[in-house]
Amino acid sequence: MNYKNKMLRDDALKGKTIVVTGGGSGLGKAMTTYFLELGANVVITSRNIEKLETVKTELETQTGGKVLAVQCDVRHYDQVEALVKASVETFGKIDVLLNNAAGNFISPTERLSANAFDTIIDIVLKGTKNCTLAFGKHWIAENETEKVVLNIVTTYAWTGSAYVVPSATAKAGVLAMTRSLAVEWAKYGMRFNAIAPGPFPTKGAWDRLLPGDLKEKFDLSKKVPLKRVGEHQELANLAAYLVSEFSAYVNGEVITIDGGEWLKGAGQMNLLEDVPKEMWDMLEMMIRAKKNQ
Ligand code: HXC
Ligand code: NAP
119-150: pLDDT as tens digits: 999 999 999 999 999 999 999 999 999 999 99
Ligand 1 atom closest to residue 22's alpha carbon, by position in its atom list: 38
For the whole model, what pTM was predicted? 0.97
Answer yes or no: is 258 within a domain: yes
Q: What is the three-class DSSP state of 69?
A: strand
Answer yes or no: is 43 within a domain: yes
Answer yes or no: is 23 within a domain: yes
**In terms of residue numbers, what domain contains 230?**
17-291
Ligand 1 atom closest to residue 113's alpha carbon, by position in its atom list: 46
pLDDT of 23? 98
Q: What is the SS3 assignment for 166-200?
A: HHHHHHHHHHHHHHHHHHHCHHHCEEEEEEEECCC
Could you give the angle at the alpha carbon of 122 between the alpha carbons of 157 and 215, nearest 5°? 55
Residue 293 pLDDT > 90: no
pLDDT of 96? 99
pLDDT of 292? 85
Q: How far is the CA of 114 from the centre of ligand 2 (A)?
A: 21
Question: Domain total for the chain?
Answer: 1
Answer yes or no: is 7 within a domain: no
Q: Within its chain, how far is the Cα of 190 from the centroid?
A: 19
Q: How far is the CA of 66 from the centre of ligand 1 (A)?
A: 31
CATH assignment at residue 177 = 3.40.50.720
Answer yes or no: is 10 within a domain: no
Answer yes or no: is 12 within a domain: no
Answer yes or no: is 139 within a domain: yes
Compute CA distances 61 → 14, 33, 38, 64, 66, whole Å.
18, 11, 15, 6, 10
Catalytic residues: 156
Answer yes or no: is 9 within a domain: no
Q: How far is the CA of 23 from the centre of ligand 2 (A)?
A: 8
